[in-house]
Homo-oligomer: A and B are copies of this chain.
Amino acid sequence: MRLSNYFLPILKEAPREAEIVSHRLMLRAGMIRQQAAGIYSWLPLGYRVLRKIEQIVREEQERAGAVEVLMPTIQSADLWRESGRYDAYGAEMLRIQDRHEREMLYGPTNEEMITDIFRTYVRSYKDLPLNLYHIQWKFRDERRPRFGVMRGREFMMKDAYSFDTDKESARHAYNRMFVAYLRTYARLGLQAIPMRADTGPIGGDMSHEFIILASTGESQVFCHKDVLELKVPGEDTDFSSDLTPIVDEWTRAYAATDEMHDEAAFAEIPADKQVSARGIEVGHIFYFGTKYSEPMGAKVAQADGSEQAVHMGSYGIGVSRLVGGIIEACHDDNGIIWPEAVAPFQVGLINLKSGDAATDAACADLYEKLNKAGVDVLYDDTDGRAGAKFATMDLIGVPWQLIVGPRGLASGEVELKRRATGERETMTIEAALSRLTDAQD
């Protein structure tokens, strides 16, 4: 993408309303624009990142055997009356009347609707296990939305729902999502720690939050240092096998959010192994048994002919929230430092002297070759000052900067800068190309 054809409205100053660093950086980098309290437009740079995160989340859901659907944003109030949550949900639910005065709502979550889909079509234990997920916008009418996309009202969530004949098999379903989550966050470039969680209003007796560590995190978390050194399950993980050993390994050591923290238990950990840090919740998984299937009549025939309410779990990842979460974990004073997998572009190509024929030609050639090799390049072909170009690339956090100017070109050389470390290296054009196209594999 040539910057001259792109829409990247960089702001020089952080707007006053932004209290946390990710919100400030997303506004400054032209990633989002607030349209109303807690409601954002995603500008081109922000939307690229959102879609990359979404795609990684999707791939790991599919790997774990979940099947994608898409439920609508608008739901009927009647469905929520069946579960008893219509009245219980409170002011956070955005309630709507349509032109025929039917009561509707903007879905804050989808347990009721997915249970309705299930009961419509599934009759037999033979069709289980089943896990259906979707990635869709939700609305929660927070009293005081803030922190940008970290706590918006309209937000994108991946929510998966598992259906099983009994608790034992529901536990397998739970474990599959547990492992999928470990893999998802690792691929996003994050260190995430599963922590035993309160089940809250969704209910149930098995639940974990996934917390990423970030010095600017919203809450205090506590864990054993060993958890930070565990190996994330590989691509070759067999999701049809018993995943209990992996889950056990990841839940053995102490790890708790502030709410669930047990001072006495934590004190028993050797002092040099105690980790107390700031964290951000980026996922939450629940097993809640027949809480919805029972009142809503989602039953399946068992092998013995009896009918049984299906055992369910739900599994959420805040996809739009993750954009902010990743920035909280990955930034410095100059701006964002995207992990490669979610970077909006892999390479920022900086033309130090736009208008100079030789420099323009060299840049155009590099741009074309990188694109052909499948590398996402943002080419700053504008006539801005070099200093401003560097600052912009630092701010938007592109992992590699490829700097091309007339002086270097005279000896066939360009400069390659790695955003994460600030490391700069002068090398031939060919060396830079092969470095960047290799990095892509």
Which residue numbers of A lie inside 8 Å of B, CB to CB? 5-7, 9, 30, 33, 35-36, 39-44, 47-48, 50, 65, 67-76, 79, 91-92, 94, 96, 98-99, 102, 104, 106, 113, 116-117, 120-122, 130, 132, 137, 139, 141, 143, 153-154
Known: A130-B7, A141-B99. A44 touches B71 (CB 8 A): no
Known: A7-B130, A41-B117. A35 touches B72 (CB 8 A): yes
By the criterion CB–CB under 8 Å, are B98 and A141 in contact?
yes
Known: A35-B113, A41-B113. A98 touches B104 (CB 8 A): no
Known: A36-B76, A36-B104, A75-B35. A67 touches B44 (CB 8 A): yes
- Cα distance A293–B71 when bound, in Å? 35
By the criterion CB–CB under 8 Å, are A69 and B40 in contact?
no
Report which of B39, B91, B104, B116 forms a contact with A72, defined as CB distance below 8 A.
B39
Chain B residues, Cβ within 8 Å of A44: 67-69, 132
Nearest CB on B from A26, distance (A):
14
Which B residue's beta carbon lies closest to that of A240?
A: B5
- Cα distance A5–B239 when bound, in Å? 13
Chain B residues, Cβ within 8 Å of A48: 68
- Cα distance A48–B70 when bound, in Å? 10
Chain B residues, Cβ within 8 Å of A41: 69-72, 113, 117
By the criterion CB–CB under 8 Å, are B43 and A74 in contact?
no
Chain B residues, Cβ within 8 Å of A91: 99
Known: A94-B98, A117-B33. A40 touches B7 (CB 8 A): no
- Cα distance A36–B113 when bound, in Å? 11
Which B residue's beta carbon lies closest to that of A154?
A: B72
Which B residue's beta carbon lies closest to that of A78?
A: B36
